Amino acid sequence: MILCHEHKFIFLKTRKTAGTSVECALSAFCGPEDVITPFRRAEDEAMRAGRGPQNWDVRAIPLYRRAGRRIGLFGGQANSGSFYNHIQAADARALIG
């Protein structure tokens, strides 16, 4: 998953649609404030054209920067308050606010 503030796009990866390849290419357009989730397999990280995983753990973002975000209000992996690989659109929206 990528949340790119500078270029104003959100990429949600779906299964079996070359999502990892697209995410690798899009990471080249991301800056230091953007969210990039880690891949499940370490060997996929080597394919990234740009930045690696960053800012995906919402709990690590200072409270003043995440004011208004609803965290931990939904099931699954998102209960941890973090963005994750293959996140559902509803869960991403709840974290983004």
Residue 37 CB contacts under 8 Å (≥ 6 apart), including other chains? 1, 2, 53, 56, 83, 84, 85, 87
pLDDT confidence of residue 4: 95
Calculate ∠ Cα 14-61-2, nearest 5°.
20
pLDDT confidence of residue 33: 92
- Over the stretch 15-55, which tens digit does the pLDDT of each residue have? 889 999 999 999 999 999 999 999 888 888 888 888 999 98
- Over the stretch 62-84, which tens digit does the pLDDT of each residue have? 444 444 444 443 334 444 568 88
Q: Which residues on neighbouring strands pair with residue 82, listed in sequence order? A: 57
Cα–Cα distance for residue pair 55/62, rounded to 1 Å: 11
Where are the chain's structural domains?
Answer: 2-96
Residue 27: phi and psi, rounded to 5, are -60, -20
pLDDT confidence of residue 27: 94
Confirm whether pTM is higher than 0.75.
no
